[in-house]
C-alpha cells in the first residue's frame, strides 16, 4: 500500500475543468443594481477582461498556460496521501485519502488561483492588485504570487484575524505586500464602518468593499481587484487539485471515491477537489459530496437561497447563492476563512440540484478532530481544514459501523502553523461554541427580501 502517491510533473493536468458547462440546470445570471443581468463589460473596472472571459465561459475545458504551470511546478503536483495512521486509530475499514495542499509555499490551496490571477492581470497590463483576506492564507498567497510576477499588492485583512494572526501579516510583508487591518481609515467604506462601530471585529464583506474601492478609484486604471474564492474563475483554477487526485487514485488501482469532503468558506478548495467528481456523479456515479461549514456561519445549512451582494457596501453584482445577508458580522471563531456570508454560486446551484449535501459543525468538535489528526497523521491543520477532518472522522466511523470499505477523499486545504492561537484557546479550555441565534439570522437576512428573488430550479434527478 502506498502512503504517498506522487504524480510526475509530466502528468500534471494541462486544462482546468469548468463545472458550469455540465450543470444540469445552469446558473442564474449575476444581476446589476437595476435587477437586470449584467454584461461582461460591467465587471471591467474590477477585473481584467481575460479573467472575465473565464468567469462567463461555458467551455468545459480551459487550457492552463505553460507559464502558469512553470510557476506551479514549485509545489505541484501535490501528493495524495493515505491517512493510514488515522485509519488504524479509528479501526475503520474505510480508505482515507487526502490531497495535501499545505505543500505550497504559503501553506494552502490558495496559490493555485493567486498565481493564475496575477498572471492574467499582468498579461492585461495591470500593475497592482488589491484584495481582502480573512485568516490571512489568501492574502499571503496573493502576496507570494504578485512577488513572483512583479506586481504590487495591497491586502485588507479582517481586523479580528489581523489581531489573532500577526505572523500572516509578516509573511505578506516578506513577499512585499502592504497589509492593513479592515475596516481601515484608507477608504470611504472603511471610514463609514469605523464611525458607526469603532470596535468592530470586521468581516470579509467590509474588507471586500475596501479592496474594490481602492481598485476602481485608481485614476491610472492600472489597479484591479482579486478575489480568493466564490467566483467561477477562482473555482476553475482550483480544479487542478481534483484532476490530479483522480489520476493519483487511478494510479494505485483505487475505485472512484464513495465520499468527497472539503471545508467551505467561499467554496474554492472544496470545489477544486470535488468538481471533477461532481462530473462523474452527473454521469451516473454514486458519490456523496459534502461541503462542511461552521455552525457559527451556517450559510449553506441555514441561509436562504437568494440574490445577494458579495460585500457590505453593495458594490458587487447580485449573485444567486445561499446567503446569511451581506451585512452579516460573524462571531469571532478561529476558522477565519470560513466566516463569509455567501457561497460560490456554482456550489449553491449544485446543492439546489441535490448533487451535494452540506453540513455544519461546532468549532470545539473540529479542534478535537484536529488534535486526533495531529496525534495520528502528525500535521497541525488549519482551523478551516479541521472542519473537513471532523466530517472524515464521522464518515469513517460510520463506515466501520456499517462494515463497509468506503473510499473517502478530502482536501487538506492548509496547515495551521500560523493559527496556533486557536489551539492555545482549545488546549486551555477557553474555546466556546457559537450557534447563530435564529433572531440574528432573521435580522441579517431581512434585507434580502428587498432584492430580486432567486428561483430554485432543479431537474429532480438527485
Ligand X SMILES: Cc1ncc(COP(=O)(O)O)c(C=O)c1O
Q: Is 209 in the site for ligand X (CB under 6 A)?
A: no
Ordered strands of the 128-133 beta sheet: 178-182, 152-158, 128-133, 223-225
Which grid cell is 430?
477557553
Residue pair 186/180 in contact by the 8 Å Cβ criterion: yes
Residue nearest to ligand X (CB): 337
Binder among 203, 229, 349, 445 for ligand X (CB under 6 A): 229
> Whose Cβ is closer to ligand X: residue 71's or residue 366's?
366
Terminal-residue alpha carbon distance, the chain: 34
Binder among 47, 98, 138, 426 for ligand X (CB under 6 A): 138
Q: How far is the CB of 206 from ligand X (least distance, A)?
A: 16
Look at residues 128, 147, 316 and name the one whose alpha carbon lies nearest to residue 223. 128
Binder among 106, 337, 379, 422 for ligand X (CB under 6 A): 337
**In Å, what is the CA distance from 87 to each residue of 136, 254, 274, 414?**
31, 16, 22, 20
Report helix, strand or coil for 180. strand
Q: How far is the CB of 394 from ligand X (least distance, A)?
A: 19
Q: Is 360 in the site for ligand X (CB under 6 A)?
A: no
Q: Which stretch binds ligand X (CB under 6 A): 60-68, 194-202, 263-271, 434-442?
A: 263-271
**In Å, what is the CA distance from 252 to each residue of 3, 14, 80, 197, 208?**
10, 21, 11, 55, 43
Q: Is 385 in the site for ligand X (CB under 6 A)?
A: yes
> Whose Cβ is closer to ligand X: residue 108's or residue 248's?
108
Residue pair 444/324 in contact by the 8 Å Cβ criterion: yes
The size of the chain, in residues, is 462
How many residues bind to ligand X according to rule CB under 6 A? 21
Q: Is 54 in the site for ligand X (CB under 6 A)?
A: no
Instruction: Tell me the C-alpha distance between 132 and 136, whole Å.
Output: 9
Q: Beta partners for 409?
A: 97, 260
Binder among 106, 265, 276, 294 for ligand X (CB under 6 A): 265
Q: Is 142 in the site for ligand X (CB under 6 A)?
A: no
Q: Is 263 in the site for ligand X (CB under 6 A)?
A: yes
Binder among 104, 140, 349, 413 for ligand X (CB under 6 A): 413
Q: Is 181 in the site for ligand X (CB under 6 A)?
A: no
> Whose Cβ is closer to ligand X: residue 384's or residue 395's?
384
> Whose Cβ is closer to ligand X: residue 267's or residue 345's?
267
Q: Which stretch binds ligand X (CB under 6 A): 214-222, 268-276, 357-365, 432-440?
A: 268-276
> Whose Cβ is closer to ligand X: residue 244's or residue 384's?
384
Q: How far is the CB of 453 from ligand X (least distance, A)?
A: 26
Q: How far is the CB of 107 from ligand X (least distance, A)?
A: 8
Q: Is 114 in the site for ligand X (CB under 6 A)?
A: no
Residue pair 175/143 in contact by the 8 Å Cβ criterion: yes
> Whose Cβ is closer to ligand X: residue 108's or residue 121's?
108
Binder among 52, 94, 142, 264 for ligand X (CB under 6 A): 264
| b/e sequence 277-303, b meaning 16+ C-beta within 10 Å | bbbbbbeeeebebbbbbbbbbbbbbbb
Q: How far is the CB of 420 from ligand X (least distance, A)?
A: 14
Q: How far is the CB of 441 from ligand X (least distance, A)?
A: 21
Residue 35: CB atoms within 10 Å? 10
Q: Is 323 in the site for ligand X (CB under 6 A)?
A: no
> Whose Cβ is closer to ligand X: residue 264's or residue 399's?
264
Q: Beta partners for 321?
A: 306
> Whose Cβ is closer to ligand X: residue 205's or residue 265's?
265
| b/e sequence 36-51, b meaning 16+ C-beta within 10 Å | eebeeeebeebbbeeb
User: Please, which of residues 79-108 interact with ligand X by CB under 6 A?
Assistant: 108
Ordered strands of the 288-294 beta sheet: 4-5, 80-82, 95-100, 407-412, 259-263, 288-294, 359-361
Q: Is 23 in the site for ligand X (CB under 6 A)?
A: no
Q: What share of the chain is helix, strand, coil (3-state, %, to 5)?
A: 45, 15, 40
Residue 386: CB atoms within 10 Å? 32
Q: Is 135 in the site for ligand X (CB under 6 A)?
A: yes
- DSSP character string of 62-108: EEPPHHHHHHHTTTPSPPEEE-HHHHHHHT-S-EEEEEEGGGSTTSB
> At 208, phi and psi to the nearest 5?
-65, -45
> Whose Cβ is closer to ligand X: residue 184's or residue 299's?
299
Q: Is 390 in the site for ligand X (CB under 6 A)?
A: no
Q: Which stretch binds ligand X (CB under 6 A): 167-175, 267-275, 311-319, 435-443?
A: 267-275
Q: Is 269 in the site for ligand X (CB under 6 A)?
A: yes
Which grid cell is 112?
493555485
> At 224, phi and psi to the nearest 5?
-135, 165
Instruction: Name the pairing type of β-strands 407-412 and 95-100.
Output: parallel
Q: Is 267 in the site for ligand X (CB under 6 A)?
A: yes
Chain positions contacting ligand X, by CB under 6 A: 108, 134-135, 137-138, 229, 263-270, 337-338, 382, 384-385, 413-414
Amino acid at each position: 500500500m502506498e502512503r504517498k502517491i506522487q504524480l510526475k510533473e509530466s502528468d500534471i493536468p494541462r486544462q482546468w475543468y469548468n463545472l458550469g458547462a455540465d450543470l444540469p440546470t445552469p446558473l442564474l445570471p449575476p444581476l446589476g443594481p437595476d435587477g437586470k443581468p449584467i454584461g461582461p463589460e460591467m465587471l471591467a473596472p474590477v477585473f481584467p477582461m481575460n479573467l472575465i472571459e473565464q468567469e462567463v465561459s461555458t467551455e468545459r475545458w480551459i487550457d492552463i498556460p505553460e507559464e502558469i504551470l512553470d510557476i506551479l511546478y514549485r509545489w505541484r503536483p501535490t501528493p495524495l496521501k493515505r491517512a493510514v495512521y488515522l485509519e488504524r486509530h479509528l479501526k475503520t475499514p474505510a480508505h482515507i485519502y487526502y490531497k495535501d495542499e499545505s505543500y505550497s509555499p504559503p501553506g494552502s490551496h490558495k496559490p493555485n488561483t493567486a498565481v493564475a490571477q496575477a498572471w492574467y492581470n499582468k498579461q492585461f497590463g495591470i500593475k497592482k492588485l488589491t484584495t481582502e483576506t480573512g485568516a490571512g492564507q489568501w492574502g499571503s498567497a496573493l502576496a507570494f504570487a504578485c512577488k513572483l510576477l512583479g506586481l504590487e499588492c495591497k491586502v485588507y485583512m479582517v481586523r479580528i484575524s489581523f489581531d489573532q494572526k500577526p505572523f500572516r501579516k509578516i509573511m505578506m510583508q516578506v513577499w512585499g505586500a502592504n497589509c492593513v487591518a479592515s475596516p481601515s481609515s484608507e477608504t470611504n467604506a472603511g471610514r463609514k464602518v469605523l464611525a458607526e462601530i469603532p470596535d468592530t471585529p470586521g468581516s470579509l464583506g467590509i474588507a471586500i468593499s475596501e479592496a474594490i474601492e481602492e481598485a476602481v478609484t485608481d485614476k491610472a486604471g492600472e489597479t484591479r481587484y482579486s478575489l480568493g474564492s466564490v467566483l467561477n474563475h477562482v473555482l476553475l483554477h482550483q480544479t487542478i487539485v481534483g484532476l490530479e487526485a483522480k489520476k493519483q487514485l487511478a494510479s494505485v488501482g483505487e475505485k472512484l471515491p464513495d465520499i468527497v469532503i472539503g471545508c467551505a468558506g467561499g467554496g474554492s478548495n472544496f470545489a477544486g477537489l470535488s468538481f471533477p467528481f461532481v462530473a462523474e456523479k452527473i454521469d451516473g456515479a454514486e458519490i456523496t459530496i459534502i461541503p462542511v461549514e461552521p455552525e457559527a456561519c451556517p450559510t449553506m445549512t441555514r441561509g436562504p437561497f437568494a440574490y445577494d451582494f458579495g460585500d457590505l457596501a453593495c458594490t458587487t453584482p447580485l449573485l444567486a447563492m445561499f446567503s446569511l445577508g451581506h451585512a452579516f458580522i460573524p462571531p469571532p471563531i478561529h476558522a477565519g476563512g470560513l466566516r463569509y456570508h455567501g457561497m460560490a454560486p456554482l456550489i449553491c446551484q449544485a446543492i439546489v440540484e441535490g448533487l451535494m449535501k452540506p453540513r455544519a459543525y461546532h468549532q470545539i468538535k473540529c479542534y478535537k478532530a484536529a488534535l486526533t489528526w495531529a496525534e495520528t497523521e502528525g500535521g497541525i491543520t488549519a482551523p478551516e481544514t479541521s472542519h473537513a477532518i471532523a466530517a472524515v472522522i464521522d464518515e469513517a466511523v460510520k463506515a466501520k459501523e456499517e462494515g463497509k470499505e468506503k473510499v473517502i477523499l478530502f482536501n487538506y486545504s492548509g496547515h495551521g502553523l500560523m493559527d496556533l492561537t486557536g489551539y492555545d484557546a482549545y488546549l486551555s479550555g477557553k474555546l466556546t461554541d457559537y450557534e447563530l441565534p435564529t433572531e440574528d439570522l432573521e435580522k441579517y437576512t431581512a434585507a434580502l427580501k428587498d432584492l430580486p428573488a432567486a428561483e430554485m430550479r432543479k431537474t429532480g434527478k438527485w
